[in-house]
Structure 1
């Protein structure tokens, strides 16, 4: 494990490791110690989201010791870029600069030095287990432990069937949450229509097995038509948000024509855009901890920003 960590933090000394230890508001899965205190936090993730204290409180805890240190997140391969974006976004919101962002060749695929001092890094389960396996080739007990860990990773596959439990169907908060999101989408579209950002022009709601929403059209001349709403496949695949706007490849949706206009805007505004199967999807990030009116207005404002990117005022 020290060989893995040295790729991103070469100044670390040899450490001892402990698990399931909590202090104040942090509880990393693994701690790495030298004689002067913690130097490494390792957080193991599969598909659960970050806690409210990750990564900022963890970095602040390590930084208090004023010695070379690192926080490492271990995630499924498919989640590397998604979780890294969220980690960097949280640093930005906390006013913590991250410099020297690198893509490394070993198990640690992404790393950045933070203004607080510690390095923030990310590794995939696949690469980490492969690297550890090379180091314990002659240790049958360690190989057995890694085999069990590999089996755990396979069992945590997000596409694997999960047996249905009573709590899955008796928790009424989930349908209430989905209905609340539907109401937010409907209200934001109505507000954008009233402000001449969007038009409905007889377009109807649309739902299928993997999404719930409606068709809309941008109101400027020759504006493209899009679908907007809860997209479960995109939510599962990218984890950015539940709400998405999708441009189809048709003459009505004009995904190919919209892509070169929206990608530079998305890069400037730190918005997530995905292009696959000739469709362009924009993540409509929600604001947290606000009342319904504020969430609706922010969402309608995002429609306006997208409209301006597609057809700048005065163009």
Structure 2
């Protein structure tokens, strides 16, 4: 996983209010970069009839339900024309969106106002549906929806309600900053994007009915069966040994969000595991081979031997203080036997790369 940037790094360690941090950073860019602000208002003007020039400011509150929007856009006369509400994983408050919409001017007043909700990409559909439901429950009349994908808007009682993802919004602002040769703004927006990517990765994805059915646990049971068949096959054909170099028996192990079976290949103790963390965040496969399980490792030597695998993104991963994991990919759309054959072949190749002795005759890994 690439670095989330300085802002994302600090947010996870120094504050529990990531949404406020992102909001303040975004408003700072809009207050200091003419290019980014022009690009932002040009984007908003696709949805609502607002002025080309707006002044943006934040409205701080210690009460999450106080009904104070995150960012306000004012026209030249000081009138409120844009309200922006920034979300990561927090739900809508009781004031959103109805109370916020009521604070905006309506077309009948001779001007138009826009309420824009910013969310992670994964939440756009869910939050958009909830916004619609709340407007209907309040008796507000909905017009025709416009926009598509991760930037949409709809007229509600003479005002405009919109939603956009952090990703789309920040990409648009970065393009505007680049076009305006504002490299400082682009760098600042990149920091916000890094924080948003981190929040996207860690956000709770709402449960779907299919996830609570028996399909997911049955599939996990099948994964475990595949793992056992692969290890049994490696041992039966002599590729792997069921005991370490010192005669210690190897077998099943489990830890936080992983479980698997250990064995020895080329004098190195390895663990083939189903690892939820690596599967979810590093590469799309549940199966990972840990090199040097329960052994002191020489990370540099092992990585040197696995050099040809490192050209494939996130195939070889270093975790913690030097634990080395290799992703064991699985073919799709084939029978279980073909999956087992493919995984066995990959581990055999890794065995060939992990020769037991280095050029000087010393061991690559310490014995268990």
TM-score between the two structures when normalised by the length of structure 1: 0.48
TM-score between the two structures when normalised by the length of structure 2: 0.42
